[in-house]
Structure 1
Amino acid sequence: MSFNARSAWSIYTRELMRFLRTAFQSVLSPVLTTSLYFIVFGAAIGGRMPDLGGVDYAAFIIPGLLMLTLLGETTSNSSFGIYMPRFTGTIYELLSAPVGVAETLVGFVGAAATKSLILAAIILTTAMLFVDYTIVHPFWALLYIMLVASAFSLFGFILGIWADNFEKLGIIPMLILTPLTFLGGTFYSIDMLPSPWDKIALANPIVYLVNGLRWTFYGQSDVSIGVSLGLTLGFLAVCVAIIAYIFRTGWRLRA
């Protein structure tokens, strides 16, 4: 069956409009959160911190703060976007329509990537109010943000299908993703950790996401950009395979 671009566009616009209907909350939350982090960590603590690899501490934490917001918002938006049709029963309209897995994923992931770029632009604009910074590799930064947004949109999609109540919907973002992000080098370099904690930190997958984005900003990171990119692409491929299996078997969709 050929790719149905109109179906993908319909899903994309529906998801994007859902985001825009709550734009005030979606915009205000990251702006306030980013401002508070810069006031506490950038101004209060950053003045007492040395430069990290020649980068001012307040500028050093920007990629980590960006990743912290992107992971939480992208996963939550995507999981809620597929959970509500299941909860209300409208998922059967999607399943009975001539829409394949490819169109569904393109629509959901495309909307999530667009929302993530909007949030990233808001966060980076807010950061300019507190610190001067430059992005060494802007093209790769844009590409990496979209890659991470796509991967965690798919992850949120899986989470929204797996969850059978609102409590489960928030378990992964709040109890797993957020702590791992805080421990993933958001506010520090893992080179600052004493042994053996610097080696243990490498077991945290978020370390590679944060450092991959940090490399696009400042051309340096604690881990190889190749490893960061490879792990992100691998995670995306695993999520695509799981979703393809879910649609093929109807797991939790037709029950």
Structure 2
Amino acid sequence: MQGSARFFKGFRTLTSTKKHTYGQAFHDEILQFKNSNGTMTSFSVTFFFAIVPEYKHKGSHGMAFVISPTRGITNASADQYLGIFNEGNNGNTSNHIFAVELDINKDNEFGDIDDNHVGININGMRSIISSPAGYYDQEGQFRNLSFISGDLLRVTIVYSHKDTQINVTLSSPEEAYYPKKPLLSLNQDLSPYFLEKMYAGFSASTGSVGAMHYMWIWFIDGCINVPKLDLGIPEIPPYPKAKSQVLWIVLLTCLSLSLLAFSAALVASLCQCYNLWF
């Protein structure tokens, strides 16, 4: 883990309450994405995450699943760059970085569609394709999902070498079914952008508003099967209170107890006085 990533209350968090920072968490082992003759392999990724912002109706910047030549990305920037790129290397073909962004801030410089969307990115922050966050139900109707709800959400990314197609599906693990129709579907050969062996992981960043980016569990496989999972849904911790706020709560509690004790003593004293007068 790099940057502000750490373990917190049983979860791996990519960011803390610090502003304008980023955190990264990558798999320890390097993964093979091409065979010996340079042919791209198929793969699938499933992960569960939750974003808890500092304020209920205002997010920070967001997070992304990342495949990179290195285990961790150095010289990355926070804020709108999500801890993946910086102003100098954004868009460079030499990056060899594939990402699926879960963006909670509308950055006009990158052509973002809104402040709650999923995008597929290659070598830069401008998405090749994007969609508002949500899923298609059994009847094919689009249902919105909010990244800053604090709820646990599931993302599945499937790349088919045969079809040269990337499908990204967002869903709620509380739903009884897995969406048949993906949220994003892109016909794109990834061979020119991938090296033979690369690392997979996650990155997130904050700006002027804090946000906790919680990672629960994730799977990556060299096939296009979507795992059927029957898992209990954990309780996501709330946004941590500031130390000063906690201190005020303690002080107010102590003050309240002191006032109660004083009131009890005063009542007892008055009772004694009344007894004397009577």
Fold equivalence (TM over 0.5): no
TM-score when scaled to structure 2?
0.26
> Which has a greater percent of helix?
1
> Which has a greater percent of strand?
2
